[in-house]
Amino acid sequence: MDCVVGVGSSLTRVVIDDIPGDKSISHRAIILGSLSDSTSIFTHFLTAEDCLNTLTIFQQLGVPIQRDGATVMMTGVGLNGLNAPANILDTGNSGTGIRLITGVLAGQSFSSRITGDASIQRRPMKRIISPLKDMGARISGKTIEGKSDIYPQLDIEGGVLHGIRYRLPVASAQVKSAVLLAGLFANSPTVVEEPELCRDHTERLMQGFGGHLTRHGDEIHLIPGRLANPTPDTPIRVPSDFSSSAFFLVLGALRVPITMTGIGMNPTRNTLMDVLIRMGAAVTVTDAAGDAFEPHATLTVSPSSMHNVDVNGAEIPFLIDEIPILAVAALFSHGTLKVRDAAELRVKESDRIAAIAMVVRAMGGQIVEYEDGFDVSGPVAIQSFDIDSHGDHRIAMSAIIGAVASGVSATIRNCECIRTSFPNFFDILNRIVDPPVFLVSDPVT
């Protein structure tokens, strides 16, 4: 399905109160809710394909889960209550789903198989398989000619695990979470050393459910033990996804004032906001609040003259998913955006550094690629363009925002991938844009 952006769009100021629930937290809500000894009700759950696949997988593993729109009601079966699935488990397009669920499956008393779509079958899995094998897991996968990693489908022979001390070689919330989830089933404590802090949704929710998890400096200590929701009759609201709000945060900084309510403000997730403010964006935070698990707030952003900055080091893990839209913002800003230490982008849904370069060049900009980043200079006179997202939702949405912000016409191909993370993206966008952005099922020629 292709997306078509018309030339000369006019934009209207809006208040957005329906940014969908956080994808990372929605995944973890299903996983940890399933492993608890209690019932849980989660509201504002992300009803996108990625998270619905995780929900379906735990239903296949025997967890009673019901969904009414964005409300999920579930009865946890405890750490020892999952059942062997009758079929291969399918995570669709979700790297988070396959890596975290593999950590859970490694500690079961049964064998299982897990896979995903064509994109997932090209995602490297050795990063989780190596520490899980150190814990005693038995996991095998496919090899790809010319590559040295392991890829899905993964065959997992469940069994007894033991705790380990593991130092993350790179900042990765997925690897950290896979090890911690496996650690729940181990016969001894697990310690994860985290040289660089990365998103901590797993730790927050695990602690909220009574898990024996503590942090000591850069070490996370987990003692295996039961999980239970302390307030089973009180709904837990999943905050709106900061990564989804990022597209409209940038549009607001470039073209039209925008206010968004209920946005997740986990400090390991909202670094893009800090970078945009450093670039000169006018962003205000109001109605800041927190609950048992995650903080949230209202964000208001207005168009500003911005200048590009350097982004590297400890900031990268906190905005790895937002780098594509940051690169688009760089085309409208003065000076050079220099991104380094972001080699992780090479193994996302696509090689995102190469994909970012494709978008920048198609829009009329220049980019210098490095193995772990790139340089983009601005401002640029944006030109009309036609690109293929190659099924990467963040590349597709970034290109769309770039076209809308500049007022040029554009065709972005293969946009059906957007619903994997942001099912109402076009509904929100078209409350701002006139004429509306539209989707066509027949290829545009």
pLDDT band for position 441 (cuts 50, 70, 90): confident
Note whether 203 and 245 are same-domain residues. Answer: no
Quick one: tokens of 351? 């090689």
Nearest to 96 by CA among 318, 348, 295: 348
**Sequence-ordered alpha helix ranges (H) in 282-322:** 316-319
Task: Please report whether residue 124 resides in a domain.
Answer: yes
How far is C-alpha 203 from the chain's CA centre? Answer: 16
Arithmetic mean of pLDDT, 365-390:
96
* Distances 387 to 4, 91, 369, 393 between C-alpha atoms, Å: 11, 27, 19, 13
Nearest to 95 by CA among 67, 70, 71, 114: 114
* Distances 240 to 155, 307, 362, 409, 429 between C-alpha atoms, Å: 34, 28, 31, 30, 16
On whether the CB atoms of residues 339 and 381 are closer than 8 A, the answer is: no
Q: Is the pLDDT of residue 442 over 80?
A: no
Task: Please report whether residue 230 resides in a domain.
Answer: no
Task: Please report whether residue 311 resides in a domain.
Answer: yes
Q: Which residue has the tokens 């000894």?
A: 37
Percent share of the chain, pLDDT over 90: 85
- Regarding predicted confidence, which is higher, 190 or 313? 190
CATH assignment of the domain containing 73:
3.65.10.10
Task: Please report whether residue 231 resides in a domain.
Answer: no
Note whether 182 and 320 are same-domain residues. Answer: no
Number of neighbouring beta carbons within 10 Å of residue 170? 14
Q: Is the pLDDT of residue 349 over 80?
A: no
Task: Please report whether residue 228 resides in a domain.
Answer: no
The answer to whether the Cα torsion of 87, 91, 92, 98 is positive or negative is negative
Number of neighbouring beta carbons within 10 Å of residue 410? 24
Note whether 28 and 10 are same-domain residues. Answer: no
On whether the CB atoms of residues 42 and 68 are closer than 8 A, the answer is: no
Could you say which of 199, 223, 247 is where a domain stops? 223
pLDDT band for position 71 (cuts 50, 70, 90): very high
Q: Is there a catalytic annotation at residue 17?
A: no
Residue of 321, 372, 388, 434 marked catalytic: 321
Note whether 370 and 284 are same-domain residues. Answer: yes
Q: Which of 3-12, 80-89, 162-171 has the lowest mean pLDDT?
A: 3-12
For the range 293-296, what are the long-range contacts, defined as Cβ-Cβ under 8 Å and sequence gap of 24 or more? 293/25, 293/204, 293/205, 293/208, 293/236, 294/22, 294/25, 294/201, 294/204, 294/238, 294/239, 294/264, 294/265, 294/266, 295/239, 295/264, 295/265, 295/266, 296/239, 296/240, 296/262, 296/263, 296/264, 296/265
Q: What is the pLDDT of residue 291?
A: 67
> Distance from first CA to last CA of the chain, Å, rounded?
13
Note whether 340 and 278 are same-domain residues. Answer: yes
Note whether 102 and 217 are same-domain residues. Answer: yes
The total of structural domains in the chain comes to: 2
Note whether 249 and 367 are same-domain residues. Answer: yes
Q: What is the pLDDT of residue 445?
A: 54
Structural domain that includes position 139: 23-223
Q: What is the pLDDT of residue 147?
A: 87
Instruction: List pLDDT tens digits, range 261-296.
Output: 999 999 999 999 999 999 999 999 999 887 668 999
Instruction: List pLDDT tens digits, range 61-70.
Output: 999 999 999 9
Arithmetic mean of pLDDT, 412-423:
90
On whether the CB atoms of residues 382 and 312 are closer than 8 A, the answer is: no
Note whether 259 and 333 are same-domain residues. Answer: yes
Q: What is the pLDDT of residue 435?
A: 87
Note whether 263 and 378 are same-domain residues. Answer: yes
Q: What is the pTM of this model?
A: 0.90
pLDDT band for position 330 (cuts 50, 70, 90): very high
